[in-house]
């Protein structure tokens, strides 16, 4: 009878330590998710429009001063670290910076063309 009581207590402890609220399986919700617009300037200039998804992925497009449209893709972490590429291949530009609240800024560079500059944006 004592063994049965110990088995019951051990089983109760095992099941009570499991929880449906396990943080490891919760979906990531990014505070920066939504629609963003901004500008960039420096050796080239233009505008950009992007959507940040709840998981932190960034997708949109950019139009430079010559009217050329290019795809923008990247990611944002929950602490606001922003990283994206505009264009593809060796002519792509890399954007990096920090989002905070409803705004963000940083730098961009294109090593193939030796271009660089700054960018800024706001959440709509």
The whole-number pLDDT of residue 60 equals 97
Burial of 95 (0-12, 13-18, 19+ CB in 10 A): buried
Query: What does residue 120 show for φ and ψ, rounded to 5 degrees?
Result: -145, 160
In a domain, 21, yes or no: no
Residue reference for tokens 């905070």: 100
Query: What is the rounded average pLDDT of the residues 90-114?
Result: 94
The whole-number pLDDT of residue 91 equals 80
In a domain, 100, yes or no: yes
The whole-number pLDDT of residue 1 equals 52
Q: How many domains does the chain have?
A: 1
Residue reference for tokens 């943080």: 23
The whole-number pLDDT of residue 90 equals 77
Going through the chain in order, the beta strands assigned E by DSSP cover: 34-42, 46-52, 57-64, 69-76, 81-86, 93-100, 103-110, 115-123
Higher pLDDT, 93 or 26: 93
The whole-number pLDDT of residue 8 equals 45
Confidence of residue 72 (pLDDT cuts 50, 70, 90): very high
88 pLDDT exceeds 60? yes
Write the DSSP symbol of residue 24.
Answer: G
69 pLDDT exceeds 80? yes
In a domain, 17, yes or no: no
In a domain, 9, yes or no: no
CATH of the domain at 116: 2.40.128.120
Chain segment 3-26, per-residue pLDDT in tens: 544 444 444 444 445 544 444 444
Tell me how far apart the alpha carbons of residues 97 and 101 are, in angstroms, rounded to a whole number.
13
């Amino acid at each position: 009878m004592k063994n049965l009581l110990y088995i019951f207590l051990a089983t109760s402890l095992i099941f009570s330590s499991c929880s449906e609220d396990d943080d490891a399986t919760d979906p990531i919700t990014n505070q920066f998710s939504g629609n963003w617009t901004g500008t960039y300037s420096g050796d080239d200039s233009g505008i950009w429009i992007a959507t940040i998804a709840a998981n932190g992925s960034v997708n949109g497009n950019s139009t430079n001063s010559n009217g050329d449209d290019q795809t923008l893709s990247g990611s944002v972490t929950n602490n606001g670290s922003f990283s994206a590429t505009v264009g593809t291949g060796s002519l792509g530009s890399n954007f990096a910076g920090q989002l905070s609240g409803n705004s963000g800024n940083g730098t961009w560079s294109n090593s193939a063309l030796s271009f660089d500059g700054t960018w800024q944006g706001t959440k709509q």
